[in-house]
Amino acid sequence: MKKPPKQSYPDNPQTVGEHIRKKRIDSNQTQMEVSIIIGVDEDTITGWELGRYVPQVHWYPAIIKYLGYYPFDHETETISGKLLQVRYCNGWSCKELAIVLGVDTATVRRWELKKSIIHLKSHEKIIKLWLE
């Protein structure tokens, strides 16, 4: 198998994979070491770092823990942004978050996309989850 081309150091990481690569290089770790920490195989880390694919949401909590910070570039000041942050930090799909909030999946997506108003009861549940 041909070795992938050497990637440059990501000074200003934009993707989750670039964030992982930067942290890994700064920590002087191998992809194998990072794969063990996150709980995936080494090829998965390589794929993320090279931008071949994006991590599935259920890996986000382990990635956030490894990085030590939230790597996603979206606003978190509005309730919609907080909702997405809650979902990512917990590694939940829209369906899983919908179950937690007692709404349907389409409603969660509309809220995240700011295409629907979040009712007060749900707003309170989201804030409670966000503060946990």
Q: For residue range 87-103, what is the model confidence (pLDDT) as tens digits?
A: 999 999 999 999 999 99
Structure token pair of residue 85: 């942050």
Q: In whole angstroms, how far apart are CA 13 and each of 51, 67, 76, 124?
A: 12, 12, 19, 33
The answer, yes or no, to whether residue 7 has pLDDT greater than 70, is no
Q: For residue range 24-72, what is the model confidence (pLDDT) as tens digits?
A: 999 999 999 999 999 999 999 999 999 999 999 999 999 999 999 999 9
What pTM does this model have? 0.88
Structure token pair of residue 7: 């990637």
In CATH, what number does 79-131 get? Answer: 1.10.260.40
For the chain, the domains span 16-56, 79-131
The answer, yes or no, to whether residue 115 has pLDDT greater than 70, is yes
